[in-house]
Amino acid sequence: MTLSPAVRAFLSEKRFATLATINSDNTPQQTVMWYELRGETIVMNTTATRVKGRNLARDRRVSICVEDGYRYVTISGEAQLMKERATAQEDIRRLAIRYNGAEAAARQMAEQFSKQERVSIYLPVERVIANGFE
């Protein structure tokens, strides 16, 4: 699916996504996430041991919602997990720069992220619902 220029601009602004994954008992689990729109893919990152990471290792079906009041975009589908350390570390570095700036990101990388087993989540932009972009 191709995103309209207005929806692409909305997703490119610094906002937060609410990521929904499926728990082992089939209940939903939601987490507020950093994300980045890269081409036709939403990129997120987590540690492998967090609930969402464990859920995604078992069931890759996800949904995200990015909202600004009644203006929102939801994207759902099957996420791809990238466990390769260098890629996952580069993704969290890019996300940290997007949300906190280069200086803070460098500090976070040195003090926290580089010491963690990180996993990147790639969600293809395929099933999209957008509201408020007429």
**Residue 104 is assigned to a structural domain of this protein:** no
**Residue 14 is assigned to a structural domain of this protein:** yes
**Residue 95 is assigned to a structural domain of this protein:** no
Number of domains into which the chain is organized? 1
- Please count the other Cβ atoms lying within 10 Å of the Cβ belonging to residue 26: 7
**Residue 73 is assigned to a structural domain of this protein:** yes
Domain that holds residue 46: 5-82+117-131
Q: Please report the pLDDT score of residue 73 as a whole number.
A: 98
Q: What is the CATH number of the domain that holds 69?
A: 2.30.110.10
**Residue 107 is assigned to a structural domain of this protein:** no
Banded model confidence at residue 134, pLDDT cuts 50, 70, 90: confident
Tens-digit pLDDT profile for residues 21-61: 999 999 999 999 999 999 999 999 999 899 999 999 999 99
Q: Please report the pLDDT score of residue 48 as a whole number.
A: 87
Among 127, 133, 15, which residue's Cα sits nearest to residue 67?
15
Question: What percent of the chain has pLDDT above 90?
Answer: 97
**Residue 105 is assigned to a structural domain of this protein:** no
